[in-house]
């Protein structure tokens, strides 16, 4: 009569173990299947080279796109009154009259209607 339990030979000693065994019952070796592929130095060098080229192209592309945008306000001419924190010395001293809101426009006197 055939053995109904599937067995797998140990890669170390050849002992027949159950198919789902984690360790060999004879030598104790790990029965897990080793990975089919391990990266080597050439693979790492190629992968890092691809990443480096991609980042360089991204940087150059982003630089080209950003150079088309308007310059930052630090490089444009903006009146000091609008940005007192950018003035040389860090402070702009304006008189009290300059800091007040402008007066509302004077309304023209109404002309009496002649009816």
32-72 per-position pLDDT tens digit: 877 788 899 999 999 999 999 999 999 999 999 988 887 77
Is the pTM higher than 0.75? no
- Number of domains making up the chain: 2
Within a domain: residue 8? yes
Within a domain: residue 114? no
Within a domain: residue 109? no
- Residue among 11, 4, 8 nearest 27 (CA): 11
- pLDDT for residue 62: 95
Pair 88, 44 in one domain: yes
Pair 28, 44 in one domain: no
> Could you tell me the residue range of the domain that residue 7 belongs to?
1-32
- pLDDT for residue 49: 98
Q: Is 6 left (phi over 0), alpha (psi -120 to 50) or beta?
A: beta
Centroid of chain to Cα 12: 47
Within a domain: residue 27? yes
CA angle centred on 15, ends 14 and 18, rounded to 5°: 120
């Amino acid at each position: 009569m055939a053995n109904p339990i599937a067995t797998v030979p140990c890669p170390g000693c050849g002992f027949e173990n159950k198919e789902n065994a984690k360790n060999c019952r004879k030598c104790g070796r790990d029965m897990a299947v080793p990975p089919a592929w391990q990266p080597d130095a050439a693979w790492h060098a190629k992968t890092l080279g691809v990443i480096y080229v991609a980042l360089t192209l991204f940087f150059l592309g982003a630089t080209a796109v950003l150079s088309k945008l308007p310059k930052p306000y630090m490089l444009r001419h903006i009146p000091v009154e609008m940005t007192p924190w950018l003035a040389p010395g860090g402070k702009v001293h304006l008189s009290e009259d300059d800091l007040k809101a402008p007066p509302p426009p004077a309304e023209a006197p109404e002309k009496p209607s002649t009816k």
